[in-house]
Amino acid sequence: MASPKSLLATLRGARQERSSLWLMRQAGRYLPEYRALRETKGGFLELCYDPESAAEVTLQPIRRFGFDGAILFSDILVIPHALGQHLWFEAGEGPRLAPALVDSALDQLQAAPERLEPVYATVARVAGALPSETSFLGFAGSPWTVATYMVAGQGSKDQSAARRMAFGDPAAFGALVEAIIDLSVTYLSGQIEHGVEAVQLFDSWAGSLSPAQFEQWVIAPNAEIVRRLKALHPDTPIIGFPKGAGGKLRAYADESGVDAIGLDETVDPAWADANLPDHLPVQGNLDPLALVAGGEALDRAIDRILAAFPSRPHIFNLGHGIVPDTPIAHVEHLIKRVRG
Protein backbone atom coordinates (compact mmCIF):
# COMPACT_ATOMS: atom_id res chain seq x y z
CA MET A 1 0.00 0.00 0.00
CA ALA A 2 1.12 3.55 -0.60
CA SER A 3 2.28 5.54 2.38
CA PRO A 4 0.15 8.52 3.39
CA LYS A 5 0.59 11.41 0.94
CA SER A 6 3.01 9.36 -1.17
CA LEU A 7 2.72 11.76 -4.10
CA LEU A 8 3.60 14.76 -1.96
CA ALA A 9 6.55 12.86 -0.48
CA THR A 10 7.75 12.02 -3.99
CA LEU A 11 7.62 15.66 -5.04
CA ARG A 12 9.76 16.47 -2.01
CA GLY A 13 12.40 14.04 -3.19
CA ALA A 14 11.60 10.76 -1.46
CA ARG A 15 11.86 7.60 -3.56
CA GLN A 16 8.76 5.47 -2.89
CA GLU A 17 8.42 1.69 -2.87
CA ARG A 18 6.13 2.11 -5.88
CA SER A 19 5.56 5.06 -8.17
CA SER A 20 2.80 7.44 -7.11
CA LEU A 21 0.05 7.80 -9.70
CA TRP A 22 -2.29 10.41 -11.09
CA LEU A 23 -3.29 11.30 -14.66
CA MET A 24 -3.53 14.64 -16.39
CA ARG A 25 -7.20 15.38 -17.24
CA GLN A 26 -8.22 12.47 -15.01
CA ALA A 27 -11.40 14.46 -14.27
CA GLY A 28 -13.11 14.66 -17.62
CA ARG A 29 -15.08 13.32 -20.55
CA TYR A 30 -13.98 9.67 -20.42
CA LEU A 31 -15.96 9.31 -17.17
CA PRO A 32 -19.72 8.72 -17.46
CA GLU A 33 -20.30 10.50 -14.17
CA TYR A 34 -18.59 13.60 -15.59
CA ARG A 35 -20.68 13.51 -18.76
CA ALA A 36 -23.86 13.19 -16.72
CA LEU A 37 -22.97 16.20 -14.59
CA ARG A 38 -21.86 18.23 -17.60
CA GLU A 39 -25.28 17.75 -19.20
CA THR A 40 -26.93 19.42 -16.21
CA LYS A 41 -24.60 22.43 -16.18
CA GLY A 42 -24.57 23.50 -19.82
CA GLY A 43 -21.29 25.09 -20.87
CA PHE A 44 -17.78 24.11 -19.83
CA LEU A 45 -16.98 27.51 -18.35
CA GLU A 46 -20.16 27.45 -16.27
CA LEU A 47 -19.00 24.12 -14.87
CA CYS A 48 -15.54 25.50 -14.02
CA TYR A 49 -17.03 28.48 -12.18
CA ASP A 50 -19.59 26.48 -10.16
CA PRO A 51 -17.65 25.50 -6.99
CA GLU A 52 -20.01 22.69 -5.99
CA SER A 53 -19.91 21.07 -9.44
CA ALA A 54 -16.20 21.70 -10.05
CA ALA A 55 -15.40 20.12 -6.69
CA GLU A 56 -17.55 17.12 -7.56
CA VAL A 57 -15.72 16.69 -10.88
CA THR A 58 -12.35 16.92 -9.10
CA LEU A 59 -13.39 14.18 -6.69
CA GLN A 60 -14.97 11.79 -9.22
CA PRO A 61 -11.76 10.04 -10.34
CA ILE A 62 -10.58 9.77 -6.75
CA ARG A 63 -13.74 7.93 -5.76
CA ARG A 64 -13.62 5.67 -8.80
CA PHE A 65 -9.88 4.90 -9.03
CA GLY A 66 -8.21 6.01 -5.79
CA PHE A 67 -5.43 7.96 -7.50
CA ASP A 68 -2.65 9.26 -5.25
CA GLY A 69 -3.35 12.82 -6.37
CA ALA A 70 -6.40 14.92 -7.18
CA ILE A 71 -5.97 17.68 -9.75
CA LEU A 72 -8.17 20.75 -9.48
CA PHE A 73 -10.85 20.91 -12.17
CA SER A 74 -10.51 24.26 -13.89
CA ASP A 75 -8.92 25.67 -17.06
CA ILE A 76 -5.72 27.55 -17.84
CA LEU A 77 -7.73 30.30 -19.54
CA VAL A 78 -9.26 31.63 -16.34
CA ILE A 79 -6.12 33.82 -16.19
CA PRO A 80 -6.84 35.75 -19.42
CA HIS A 81 -10.49 35.91 -18.34
CA ALA A 82 -9.39 37.53 -15.07
CA LEU A 83 -7.07 39.85 -17.00
CA GLY A 84 -10.14 41.15 -18.81
CA GLN A 85 -10.54 39.19 -22.02
CA HIS A 86 -13.95 37.82 -22.88
CA LEU A 87 -13.84 34.01 -22.75
CA TRP A 88 -16.23 31.47 -24.17
CA PHE A 89 -16.11 27.95 -25.60
CA GLU A 90 -17.42 27.11 -29.06
CA ALA A 91 -18.92 23.62 -29.21
CA GLY A 92 -16.58 21.31 -31.07
CA GLU A 93 -14.04 24.07 -31.70
CA GLY A 94 -12.58 25.04 -28.34
CA PRO A 95 -11.95 28.31 -26.50
CA ARG A 96 -12.28 31.80 -27.87
CA LEU A 97 -10.89 35.01 -26.37
CA ALA A 98 -11.75 38.57 -27.36
CA PRO A 99 -10.33 40.98 -28.13
CA ALA A 100 -7.42 39.03 -29.61
CA LEU A 101 -4.27 40.88 -28.57
CA VAL A 102 -2.77 40.55 -32.03
CA ASP A 103 -5.21 43.37 -32.89
CA SER A 104 -5.61 45.05 -29.51
CA ALA A 105 -3.49 46.31 -26.61
CA LEU A 106 -3.22 44.80 -23.16
CA ASP A 107 -3.94 48.16 -21.50
CA GLN A 108 -7.36 48.24 -23.15
CA LEU A 109 -8.48 45.31 -21.01
CA GLN A 110 -10.36 45.84 -17.76
CA ALA A 111 -8.97 43.39 -15.22
CA ALA A 112 -11.53 41.29 -13.32
CA PRO A 113 -9.61 39.31 -10.67
CA GLU A 114 -12.88 38.49 -8.90
CA ARG A 115 -13.44 35.90 -11.63
CA LEU A 116 -10.92 33.70 -9.79
CA GLU A 117 -12.91 33.62 -6.55
CA PRO A 118 -15.07 30.61 -7.56
CA VAL A 119 -11.89 28.60 -8.18
CA TYR A 120 -10.69 29.29 -4.66
CA ALA A 121 -14.09 28.18 -3.37
CA THR A 122 -13.73 24.96 -5.35
CA VAL A 123 -10.30 24.36 -3.80
CA ALA A 124 -11.67 24.81 -0.30
CA ARG A 125 -14.50 22.34 -0.96
CA VAL A 126 -12.16 19.70 -2.37
CA ALA A 127 -9.59 20.13 0.40
CA GLY A 128 -12.27 19.39 2.96
CA ALA A 129 -13.46 16.25 1.18
CA LEU A 130 -10.33 14.41 0.01
CA PRO A 131 -9.17 11.18 1.67
CA SER A 132 -6.26 11.76 4.03
CA GLU A 133 -3.83 9.86 1.79
CA THR A 134 -4.62 11.85 -1.37
CA SER A 135 -2.43 14.80 -2.34
CA PHE A 136 -4.17 17.84 -3.81
CA LEU A 137 -2.66 19.49 -6.89
CA GLY A 138 -3.47 22.93 -8.21
CA PHE A 139 -2.25 24.38 -11.50
CA ALA A 140 -1.91 27.26 -13.87
CA GLY A 141 -0.90 27.66 -17.47
CA SER A 142 2.64 28.92 -17.98
CA PRO A 143 2.99 32.42 -19.42
CA TRP A 144 4.07 31.43 -22.94
CA THR A 145 1.17 29.04 -23.43
CA VAL A 146 -1.40 31.42 -21.94
CA ALA A 147 -0.03 34.26 -24.06
CA THR A 148 -0.45 32.25 -27.27
CA TYR A 149 -4.20 32.06 -26.64
CA MET A 150 -4.46 35.70 -25.62
CA VAL A 151 -2.67 36.94 -28.74
CA ALA A 152 -4.47 34.74 -31.27
CA GLY A 153 -7.83 34.68 -29.49
CA GLN A 154 -7.89 30.89 -29.76
CA GLY A 155 -5.64 27.87 -29.95
CA SER A 156 -3.47 27.27 -33.00
CA LYS A 157 -1.25 24.52 -34.39
CA ASP A 158 1.97 26.53 -34.65
CA GLN A 159 1.34 29.52 -32.33
CA SER A 160 2.45 31.78 -35.18
CA ALA A 161 0.58 34.89 -34.01
CA ALA A 162 2.35 34.89 -30.64
CA ARG A 163 5.70 34.00 -32.18
CA ARG A 164 5.38 36.86 -34.68
CA MET A 165 4.51 39.28 -31.89
CA ALA A 166 7.43 38.04 -29.76
CA PHE A 167 9.81 38.72 -32.66
CA GLY A 168 8.21 41.88 -33.98
CA ASP A 169 7.26 43.68 -30.74
CA PRO A 170 9.16 42.05 -27.88
CA ALA A 171 8.38 44.95 -25.53
CA ALA A 172 4.61 44.51 -25.91
CA PHE A 173 4.87 40.75 -25.74
CA GLY A 174 7.10 41.01 -22.67
CA ALA A 175 4.54 43.25 -20.96
CA LEU A 176 1.86 40.66 -21.65
CA VAL A 177 4.03 37.88 -20.22
CA GLU A 178 4.76 39.97 -17.12
CA ALA A 179 1.03 40.56 -16.56
CA ILE A 180 0.43 36.82 -16.80
CA ILE A 181 3.27 36.17 -14.34
CA ASP A 182 1.87 38.67 -11.83
CA LEU A 183 -1.64 37.25 -11.85
CA SER A 184 -0.45 33.62 -11.98
CA VAL A 185 1.53 34.08 -8.78
CA THR A 186 -1.53 35.59 -7.09
CA TYR A 187 -3.72 32.81 -8.46
CA LEU A 188 -1.45 29.95 -7.43
CA SER A 189 -0.87 31.51 -4.03
CA GLY A 190 -4.65 31.71 -3.58
CA GLN A 191 -5.00 28.04 -4.47
CA ILE A 192 -2.33 27.14 -1.91
CA GLU A 193 -3.94 29.31 0.77
CA HIS A 194 -7.25 27.52 0.20
CA GLY A 195 -5.87 24.00 0.36
CA VAL A 196 -3.80 22.71 -2.58
CA GLU A 197 -0.53 21.05 -1.54
CA ALA A 198 1.45 21.26 -4.78
CA VAL A 199 1.01 23.01 -8.11
CA GLN A 200 1.82 22.29 -11.75
CA LEU A 201 2.77 24.79 -14.43
CA PHE A 202 1.43 23.65 -17.81
CA ASP A 203 3.45 24.91 -20.78
CA SER A 204 1.56 22.97 -23.42
CA TRP A 205 3.07 24.88 -26.38
CA ALA A 206 6.69 25.12 -25.21
CA GLY A 207 7.78 22.86 -28.05
CA SER A 208 7.07 25.48 -30.72
CA LEU A 209 10.01 27.69 -29.73
CA SER A 210 13.65 27.87 -30.81
CA PRO A 211 16.29 27.44 -28.07
CA ALA A 212 16.76 31.19 -27.67
CA GLN A 213 13.02 31.87 -27.51
CA PHE A 214 12.61 28.92 -25.16
CA GLU A 215 15.09 30.54 -22.77
CA GLN A 216 13.31 33.91 -23.02
CA TRP A 217 9.64 32.92 -23.03
CA VAL A 218 9.54 29.55 -21.25
CA ILE A 219 12.44 29.22 -18.81
CA ALA A 220 12.69 32.83 -17.63
CA PRO A 221 8.94 33.40 -16.97
CA ASN A 222 8.54 30.05 -15.24
CA ALA A 223 11.63 30.73 -13.14
CA GLU A 224 10.13 34.06 -12.09
CA ILE A 225 6.85 32.42 -11.06
CA VAL A 226 8.77 29.80 -9.09
CA ARG A 227 10.91 32.46 -7.40
CA ARG A 228 7.95 34.58 -6.35
CA LEU A 229 5.81 31.64 -5.30
CA LYS A 230 8.60 30.07 -3.26
CA ALA A 231 9.04 33.37 -1.41
CA LEU A 232 5.39 33.10 -0.36
CA HIS A 233 5.08 29.33 0.05
CA PRO A 234 8.56 27.81 0.40
CA ASP A 235 7.30 24.32 1.27
CA THR A 236 4.89 23.90 -1.67
CA PRO A 237 6.33 21.71 -4.44
CA ILE A 238 6.08 22.99 -8.01
CA ILE A 239 5.96 20.70 -11.06
CA GLY A 240 7.06 22.12 -14.39
CA PHE A 241 5.61 20.59 -17.55
CA PRO A 242 7.20 22.11 -20.68
CA LYS A 243 5.59 19.90 -23.32
CA GLY A 244 7.75 19.38 -26.38
CA ALA A 245 10.93 20.71 -24.75
CA GLY A 246 12.94 17.63 -25.74
CA GLY A 247 16.66 18.25 -25.34
CA LYS A 248 15.97 21.62 -23.71
CA LEU A 249 14.62 19.82 -20.63
CA ARG A 250 18.01 19.88 -18.92
CA ALA A 251 18.26 23.65 -19.20
CA TYR A 252 14.69 23.97 -17.95
CA ALA A 253 15.47 21.74 -14.96
CA ASP A 254 18.68 23.63 -14.15
CA GLU A 255 17.31 27.14 -14.50
CA SER A 256 13.59 27.18 -13.69
CA GLY A 257 13.83 26.12 -10.06
CA VAL A 258 10.93 23.66 -10.24
CA ASP A 259 10.85 20.77 -7.78
CA ALA A 260 9.85 18.16 -10.37
CA ILE A 261 9.72 17.82 -14.16
CA GLY A 262 6.81 16.45 -16.16
CA LEU A 263 7.86 14.48 -19.24
CA ASP A 264 5.71 14.30 -22.35
CA GLU A 265 5.36 11.09 -24.33
CA THR A 266 8.09 12.02 -26.83
CA VAL A 267 10.83 11.87 -24.18
CA ASP A 268 12.73 8.62 -23.74
CA PRO A 269 12.44 7.99 -20.00
CA ALA A 270 15.87 6.33 -19.91
CA TRP A 271 17.35 9.47 -21.51
CA ALA A 272 15.59 11.62 -18.93
CA ASP A 273 17.00 9.56 -16.08
CA ALA A 274 20.51 9.79 -17.53
CA ASN A 275 20.41 13.52 -18.37
CA LEU A 276 18.30 15.29 -15.77
CA PRO A 277 19.84 16.35 -12.44
CA ASP A 278 20.37 13.49 -10.03
CA HIS A 279 17.44 12.79 -7.72
CA LEU A 280 15.17 15.39 -9.34
CA PRO A 281 11.66 13.89 -9.23
CA VAL A 282 10.14 13.24 -12.64
CA GLN A 283 6.56 12.67 -13.71
CA GLY A 284 5.22 10.79 -16.72
CA ASN A 285 5.20 9.78 -19.42
CA LEU A 286 2.84 7.18 -20.92
CA ASP A 287 1.48 8.04 -24.36
CA PRO A 288 -2.27 8.72 -23.89
CA LEU A 289 -2.97 6.70 -27.03
CA ALA A 290 -1.20 3.66 -25.58
CA LEU A 291 -3.75 3.85 -22.79
CA VAL A 292 -6.50 3.90 -25.41
CA ALA A 293 -4.98 0.93 -27.25
CA GLY A 294 -4.52 -1.28 -24.19
CA GLY A 295 -3.24 -4.84 -24.41
CA GLU A 296 0.41 -5.79 -24.74
CA ALA A 297 1.38 -2.39 -26.14
CA LEU A 298 0.12 -0.74 -22.97
CA ASP A 299 1.88 -3.24 -20.71
CA ARG A 300 5.20 -2.84 -22.50
CA ALA A 301 4.98 0.95 -22.29
CA ILE A 302 4.12 0.88 -18.58
CA ASP A 303 6.93 -1.51 -17.78
CA ARG A 304 9.48 0.49 -19.76
CA ILE A 305 8.65 3.65 -17.84
CA LEU A 306 8.72 1.93 -14.45
CA ALA A 307 12.11 0.37 -15.24
CA ALA A 308 13.65 3.66 -16.36
CA PHE A 309 13.95 5.25 -12.93
CA PRO A 310 15.68 2.74 -10.64
CA SER A 311 16.76 5.29 -8.03
CA ARG A 312 14.90 8.47 -8.94
CA PRO A 313 11.64 9.66 -7.32
CA HIS A 314 8.95 9.00 -9.93
CA ILE A 315 5.27 9.83 -10.36
CA PHE A 316 3.53 7.73 -12.98
CA ASN A 317 1.41 9.85 -15.30
CA LEU A 318 0.60 10.35 -18.96
CA GLY A 319 2.69 12.35 -21.38
CA HIS A 320 -0.31 14.65 -21.85
CA GLY A 321 -4.00 14.58 -20.92
CA ILE A 322 -6.19 11.49 -21.01
CA VAL A 323 -8.34 11.47 -24.17
CA PRO A 324 -12.15 11.20 -24.10
CA ASP A 325 -12.39 7.77 -25.78
CA THR A 326 -10.11 6.07 -23.22
CA PRO A 327 -11.75 2.85 -21.96
CA ILE A 328 -12.20 2.84 -18.21
CA ALA A 329 -11.08 -0.79 -18.11
CA HIS A 330 -7.69 0.29 -19.49
CA VAL A 331 -7.31 2.87 -16.72
CA GLU A 332 -8.13 0.19 -14.16
CA HIS A 333 -5.55 -2.11 -15.73
CA LEU A 334 -2.94 0.67 -15.67
CA ILE A 335 -3.51 1.24 -11.95
CA LYS A 336 -3.18 -2.45 -11.14
CA ARG A 337 0.04 -2.82 -13.13
CA VAL A 338 1.69 0.29 -11.69
CA ARG A 339 0.75 -0.74 -8.19
CA GLY A 340 1.88 -4.30 -8.70
Q: Is 29 in the active site?
A: yes
Three-class SS of 278-315:
CCCCEEEEECHHHHHHCHHHHHHHHHHHHHCCCCCCEE
pTM of the model: 0.96
Q: What is the pLDDT of residue 307?
A: 97
Q: What is the pLDDT of residue 103?
A: 84
Beta-carbon contacts of residue 284 (< 8 Å; ≥ 6 apart): 262, 263, 264, 265, 267, 269, 305, 315, 316, 317, 318, 319
Q: Is 203 in the active site?
A: no
Question: Which residues make beta-bridge pairs with 150?
Answer: none
Q: What's the CA gap between 318 and 26, in Å, rounded?
A: 10
Q: What is the pLDDT of residue 104?
A: 85
CATH number of the domain located at residue range(s) 6-338 in this protein: 3.20.20.210
The pLDDT profile of the chain, 340 residues, written as one tens digit per residue, is: 444 799 999 999 999 999 999 999 999 999 999 999 998 987 899 999 999 999 999 999 999 999 999 999 999 999 999 999 999 998 878 899 999 998 888 999 999 999 999 999 999 999 999 999 999 999 999 999 999 999 999 998 899 999 999 999 999 999 999 999 999 999 999 999 999 999 999 999 999 999 999 999 999 999 999 999 999 999 999 999 999 999 999 999 999 999 999 999 999 999 999 999 999 999 999 999 999 999 999 999 999 999 999 999 999 999 999 999 999 999 999 999 999 8
How many other C-beta atoms are found inside a 10 Å radius of the C-beta of residue 132? 6
Q: What is the pLDDT of residue 93?
A: 83
Q: What is the pLDDT of residue 1?
A: 41
- DSSP labels for 78-97? HHHHHHT-EEEEETTTEEEE
Catalytic pick from 30, 38, 125, 259? 38
Sign of dihedral through CA atoms 145, 146, 148, 149? positive
Catalytic pick from 15, 18, 29, 339? 29
Q: What is the pLDDT of residue 264?
A: 98
Catalytic pick from 30, 49, 149, 252? 149
Strands (E), 40-161: 69-71, 86-90, 94-98, 135-141
State whether residue 195 is helix, strand or coil.
coil
Half-sphere exposure (Cβ direction) of 43: Cα atoms closer than 13 Å:
11
Q: Is 339 in the active site?
A: no
Q: What's the CA gap between 190 and 306, in Å, rounded?
A: 34
CA-nearest of 53, 45, 14, 49 to 313 is 14
Catalytic pick from 25, 96, 125, 163? 25
Catalytic pick from 75, 203, 264, 287? 75
Q: What is the pLDDT of residue 188?
A: 98
